[in-house]
Amino acid sequence: MKIGLTLSGGGARGVAHIGVIKALEELGLEFSIISGTSAGSIIGAMYAYGYKPLHILEIIKEISIFKSVRPAWNWSGLLTMDGMKDLLFKYMPNNSFEKLKIPLTIAATEIRIGEIRYFNEGELIPAIMASCTIPAVFSPMVLKDGLYVDGGVFDNLPAKVIRGKCDFVIGSHCNQIPREFDPKNMKVVIERTLLMAINANTQISRNYCDVFIEPTGLGKYGSFEIGKAQEIFDFAYAYTKENFQRNSFSFLV
């Protein structure tokens, strides 16, 4: 039985994936292939590289978006993720899809032609950075074959791309939109608008999942609240433990 795991984008809420993975591991699940977008690509890469969930949590706290971004000083006037690149190289020095212990596919959006692209070979870290390049926040990521922004624009939960490569797909989604909204400033308006646009393609992608895990109430955490990483992890872990047992997965019964 080949089990696939697909991890959505969601900024700081992506820490929820670590809690979900830990809970699933404790049920005895092992994954044959992983896919991820944006924050999900970071968690997926770390896990596929061989790090255990609690170690990934500690790494993510260090890779905080606020510690890692730098002024771009270029035509865009936006931010770059050079600091994040340095930290990713620190923990994944092999920088190769082929060196991963579990096959991984990462989604990113080619902005010039408006298409989703999937990376599963060659250099790993540039693909992660491309997938994490949030529009209007970071400068687009230049790779040899194009100009890239966040994969969530077209495929925030890349389940379809691995559906034919496994027997069972588990989707972990952390990009929940809260029903309560206070438009107190332009930042939160832009964030919510982007979440709503991204959520549309997630509703299509979830149909490719046999089990879909979306911790109820996760929307109360903001996309940039990495300071609440431990709380987000604990929340998602407890939710998964409470709502998914062995009988949730037919092949384990």
Catalytic positions, please?
Answer: 38, 150
Q: In sequence order, what DSSP letters do the residues of 38-59 get, joined into one string?
A: THHHHHHHHHHHT--HHHHHHH
Quote the tokens at residue 92: 């994944």
Longest dimension (CA), the chain: 57
- Alpha-carbon distance of 160 to 169, in angstroms, equals 9
Q: What is the DSSP letter of 93?
A: T
Quote the tokens at residue 130: 């491309």
- Alpha-carbon distance of 7 to 174, in angstroms, equals 8
33-66: burial string, b at 16+ Cβ within 10 Å, e else = bbbbbbbbbbbbbbbbbebebeebbebbeebbbe
> CB-based burial of residue 30 (10 Å sphere; 0-12 exposed, 13-18 middle, 19+ buried)?
exposed
- Alpha-carbon distance of 151 to 14, in angstroms, equals 14
